[in-house]
Structure 1
């Protein structure tokens, strides 16, 4: 169900520009800022999901993902922002974009309200899409070392293995769910994949609030 959305994402000019080096630096810097905002809420979402897990092993999958999200925001993002000439203070002062805030709040709401399966369906799209994007773009490479650094982080073995473990949880949930439950979970998953496309598109356009936000 998400394949057409993934094809639309990988064909988006933000990602094709990331690979061929034509992406404007301003768009990449904007993306890093917004992704940092998003990752903070995403880490909270993952922690909520871990709290709903009945299996300690499954809880650890999402606690580990939360830890990696925080590490990415504090590590790679900070380094790449500096290479784009953006200070931590400037990033913190930049408002969350409309699309980014919608995405983060949608996922966080699903994760906080539960149940476990609904939260997993809401967060898995981001994990899966970033892995697939990384795997596609690493084959193309990028002439810009900053863009290549970002690509490498999501195409590496450690990230791929972590996503595979999360997908194993998805498979287990699917086996234990009724057809009606699977349909509901699929709808949640597809909705968040649409929001993922909107997030990339917002970065390309450097989306801002039309009124009411500084």
Structure 2
């Protein structure tokens, strides 16, 4: 069993809860209120900005030139692809720059981002890489599952298509290859920290759906 398979198995219970969360099931059925999707997009924007910065920070700390190149390319792909889709969503939902500036960061989004930075500072490079993997991999799994049926709402279908696309599959494949390489070079203690970081991020992914569904406030 590969290390990524071990991670997937360890987080399976949490991932299953994401797959059946009302935010996801209603997005597929078309019943998800646009106000909740709008809330999700605004919080996800904060997360993606930090996620992009975090890739750059990881690249600066990467000792291997190939890993550094991959992380910088992933950051570029994130900006070129996911940000492009999000920009269209924002335009369609009339989310303005002023609204973005005035939107407070919700507790879960704030805590998820802090978890990533704390993992890097406290546990090091490999666990920090493990902390970003669920964002890639879980979204792919959700996208592939929802794509089998689709959504009657065009906006939601575009969201699904993003994570069921060829370019996204390539990025997921590469990040999984990277985490397996890092695990093969890590001590047992480091691998445990990597798994802990992965599970915690998986938990925050689940909480992110609930945050949006409940329009979480402080």
Whether the TM-score (by the shorter chain) exceeds 0.5 is yes
In the alignment, the residues of structure 1 paired with residue 159 and residue 123 of structure 2 have an alpha-carbon distance, to the nearest angstrom, of 32
Q: Is 1:22 the counterpart of 2:22 in the alignment?
A: no
Q: Does 1:83 align with 2:84?
A: no
1:100 aligns with: 109
Extract unaligned runs of 5+ from structure 1: 210-214
Residues 48, 111 of structure 1: 8 Å contact kept: no
Residue number among 160, 184, 193 corresponding to 1:184 in the alignment: 193
Supply the distance in 2 between the matched residues of 1:57 and 1:122 (Cα, whole angstroms): 20
Quote how far apart the aligned CAs of 1:115 are.
Answer: 2.5
Bigger RCO (CA 8 Å, 6+ sep): 2
User: Following the alignment from structure 1 to structure 2, what is the Cα–Cα distance between the partners of residues 121 and 41?
Assistant: 16
Q: Structure 1 residues 114, 182: closer, same or farther in 2, change over 3 A?
A: closer
> Of 186, 190, 213, which aligns to 1:204?
213
| Structure 1 residues 6-27: Cα deviation after superposition (integer angstroms, max 9, x where no partner) | 1000100000011110000000
Partner of 2:176: 167
- Distance in 2, Cα, partners of 1:112 & 1:100: 19
Whether the 8 Å contact between 2:90 and 2:96 is mirrored in structure 1 is: yes
Report the 3-state secondary structure (helix = DSSP H, G, I; strand = E; otherwise coil) of the residue aligned with 1:30: helix
- What is the distance in 2 between the residues matched to 1:29 and 1:162? 26
| 176 and 53 in structure 1: CA distance in 2 versus 1, 3 angstrom threshold | same
Structure 1 residues 131, 121: closer, same or farther in 2, change over 3 A? Answer: same
Aligned to 1:156: 165
**Cα distance in 1 between the residues matched to 2:214 and 2:27:** 14
Unpaired stretches in structure 2, ≥5 consecutive residues: 1-9
Could you report, residue by residue, the CA deviation over 1:135-185 in whole angstroms, capped at 9, with x for unpaired residues? 111112000000011111111011111110111010111111222221121
TM value normalised by structure 1: 0.92
1:82-126 deviation digits (Å, cap 9, x = unpaired):
222322321231111110011011113324566220210111111
Aligned to 2:3: none
